[in-house]
Amino acid sequence: MPRKAREKSSTKVYHVILRGNAKQDIFLEKQDYAKFMQELSKIKEKYEHKIYAYCLMPNHIHLIIYDEKDNLSIAMQSLAVSYSSYWNKKYERVGHLFQNRFLSKAVETESYLKTLCRYIHQNPSISGISKTEEYPWSSYQEYAKDREGMVDKKQIVTLFGRNKQEVQGNFIQFHKYKERQEDIKDFAEYEMIEKLSDEQARKYIEEILKIDNIQEIIQYSVAKRKESLKKLKEIQGISKTQVSRLTGLSKRMIEVAMK
Q: What are the angstrom distances between the C-alpha of 196 and each of 201, 226, 242, 248?
A: 6, 22, 9, 18
Q: What is the mean pLDDT of each run of 10 residues along the chain (259 residues)?
A: 66 94 91 98 97 96 96 94 95 86 88 92 91 97 94 95 92 86 57 63 82 88 88 72 86 81
Q: What share of the chain is helix, strand, coil (3-state, %, to 5)?
A: 55, 10, 35
Global pTM reads 0.72
Instruction: Kindly give, in sequence order, each residue whose CB lies less than 8 Å from that of residue 30, ignoring residues fewer than 6 positions away.
Output: none
Contacts 24+ apart (CB under 8 A), 123-131: 123/55, 123/57, 123/62, 124/55, 124/57, 126/179, 126/184, 127/57, 129/57, 129/58
81-124 pLDDT tens trace = 999 999 999 999 988 899 867 888 899 999 889 999 999 999 99
User: In terms of residues, how long is the chain?
Assistant: 259
11-32 pLDDT tens trace = 999 999 999 987 799 999 999 9
Torsion sign across C-alpha atoms 19, 108, 180, 128: positive
